[in-house]
Every structure is written in structure tokens, then in C-alpha cells.
Structure 1
């Protein structure tokens, strides 16, 4: 074998070795990259729970003030609140009324084939463990019509000016008043303690909310 044939043979073998090296490096890179992508997807949080927790008020310690009220006082406050809400929505008439009697009553109007119909939805209030208030629907009156409660609750839920702290659950036939999302001002929040409409006893506690970040700073 002459020198030229030897050089060409070595050149071919060297090219084959380099080709295998390149292929191996590419394969290893692909495998490593795929592993990193899978690990990133597995460890990635769908939601930033730390930020969500910080957004929720933390009501701890002793309340600043214990508030005892009656149905007549609550009705006046709610009427003023709804009136202001309707003004912000730029509507001349108030669509809904909320009154406490021996049970909670929501009254409102809706159009059926061009005719206004008024409904009366009766609910029982319950104080939840977190200090929020649940209104459980018990009966509905719409003139001579027999409409399901879920249908009326769906209509209420679609109200554009409905505040975010009022959560309507048509399937469960309940309305939740999320007092922990209703800020009075200056970081003050309410927690319901007792609601007894028959005995006319309504009690709330006033708290100053602390976020987790402010709590950490005070501890440091």
C-alpha cells in the first residue's frame, strides 16, 4: 500500500470518528436539554402562591372593636351602600334591595317579554368559620310564575355592578358575603361573629389586616 492510499484511509477513519463524536454530542445535548425542560415543567408553579397569600388579609390577634347592631341599623347602611353603588353604575333606578327581617330578603326586577316583573328571594344567613356570611336561598316569589331559584341567582350573578366581594353560587343556591375581601378603609376589615335575626342580635368584629410581608418585617 502506497503512502497516498494510507493517508486517504486514515483520513476516512478520522472523519468517521469525528462523525460519531459529533452525533454523540448532539444526542447527549438533546437528552440533557429535554431532561431540563421536563424538570422545569415539573417544578414550575402554575400560580405564584406566595403572592396570592400576600394579597389576602390576615386577621389575627384581638379585634380592635366589637360591634353590636340590629336589623334596622344594618338595613339603613345597606340601603345607602346600594344607592351609592347604583349611582356609580349610572343607573337612575335601584335594581336590587336587600332587607333583613326574620330572614334576609333580596328584591329586584327583570324584564320578561318587555314586562317588568319583581321577584322576592328569601334567604337564611349563616356565619361561616372564617367570619364570612353565607346566605342560603330558601324560597322565591315571582308573581304567579314558578321560576327556579338557580335561574334568578344566575341573573343576579351576571349583574355588571355586582361587587367582587359578593360571591353568587347558583348551583349551590347560596350567596357568600366575602367580608375578608371588603376593605372598609385604612386596612380595616369586618368579621361576622353572630347573626340571629329572630332575636335581632347581629355582632361583628373590626380587625386591622396584616399582610404576610408586614408580619415578616415586624418580626425582623
Structure 2
């Protein structure tokens, strides 16, 4: 008899254990939607490469920005193009090519007769990036002329750019690459010239800052 009275009391004391499948299904759907939203948001705003940090190096005026490795054939094409444009209005033509040696060849007149000359040089890269050509040998047909006299004839007869200096006493030619600038102000320096192994390397540099503009900028900021 006592057992019959306790059964309804247990049912009244724990009513929340009653299972409602629709309520649990709705809660599961809400959790799924929220979880998907958080996952998509995290993927959108996460860094794809967490260990990568972009590094920017300030490039200053006068710094090298590009190193160019070339060979004799490519440099000869460049020289030929430059001389063709530079000598188009000149009566005296000459060529400069790189083989196992650097060779300057051209024609001028001696005592009214045309003479073809061949000058052979060994190139040397200077510490400042310029190139010095030292005369190695000379060929002037069947004529026997002193080297210094031939160099003086070449200097008088051939039209050279302002950045090429010929020293007849030292028997050298200096290619002042520091005075040869591109239209945008960039310039080049020689790093290596090895004609036997066909290795030629130059560096391209940013324009140097103009001291006048630099001082103007400084005064304006003050």
C-alpha cells in the first residue's frame, strides 16, 4: 500500500527528464549554424602564411639594383648598335669588338692613302667600376709605325664619346662608365670581364641624388 503512494510522487519530482526530440533537434541545428559561421569567419580573417612577414629594404640613391651577367656575343651586339647610332654623321667609321682580346679596328688616311688599323687591348676592371683598356699589340698593314704615333692618329681621327679617354703616353683607353648614364639617370659599373671564359658582369645602379635638390629638400623641411 505504501508502494502505491510513492509512484506519483517520483513522477512529480523529476519532470525535466522527459525527452522532447524536436527541441533537441532544433538546438543541434542552431549549434551547427553557429559553428559553421565561426569557422568561415576564422578562415576569412586568418593569415594564409602565419610564418611569413613581408620585409622591405629601403633602396637608396646610388645603390645597385640589378646585376647583369652577359657574354661577348651579347655585348658585341650592344656595342655595334651604339656605334651605328653614334657614328651615323661621322665620316670616319670604326668598330670595337670583344674576342679573346678587345679589338678596335678602323680606317684613316696616312699621307693621302687609306690605312686600316687593328689595335688589340687587354681589359681590366678598375675598383671604381670603370674599365681600362691596355694596348697589347698593333697591326697597321705593312707600315712600321711607332705605337704612340698611331694612338695619336687614332685619337685625332676617330670620334669617341666624351666618357672614353685615350692616354697616348700610357698607351691606354679608359671607359668612364661612371660618366655614362641612361636617360633616366641610372648608370652601370663593371664587376667582371673575363674574355677567355666568356664571362662579363655589370651592375645597374639607381641615379645619384642631386646635391642641389637634396639641399633644397633639407631647407624646406627645416
Q: Give the aligned partner of residue 117 of structure 1.
A: 115
TM-score if structure 1 supplies the norm length?
0.67
Question: Gapped runs of 5+ residues in structure 2?
Answer: 1-59
Cα distance in 2 for residues equivalent to 1:217 and 1:192: 33
Within 5 A, what are the aligned runs for 1:112-191?
112-159=110-157, 161-191=159-189
Q: Give the aligned partner of residue 193 of structure 2.
A: 195
Cα distance in 1 for residues equivalent to 2:165 and 2:61: 20
Cα distance in 2 for residues equivalent to 1:209 and 1:201: 26
Question: Gapped runs of 5+ residues in structure 1?
Answer: 1-57
From the CA coordinates, give the structure whose radius of gyration is larger.
2
Within 5 A, what are the aligned runs for 1:1-220?
60-61=62-63, 63-89=64-90, 91=91, 95-159=93-157, 161-210=159-208, 211-216=210-215
Cα distance in 2 for residues equivalent to 1:136 and 1:180: 19
TM-score if structure 2 supplies the norm length?
0.66
CA contact (8 A) 2:93 2:158 kept: no
Cα distance in 1 for residues equivalent to 2:78 and 2:68: 14
Q: Give the aligned partner of residue 54 of structure 1.
A: none
Structure 1 residue 153: Cα displacement: 1.7
Cα distance in 2 for residues equivalent to 1:216 and 1:156: 43
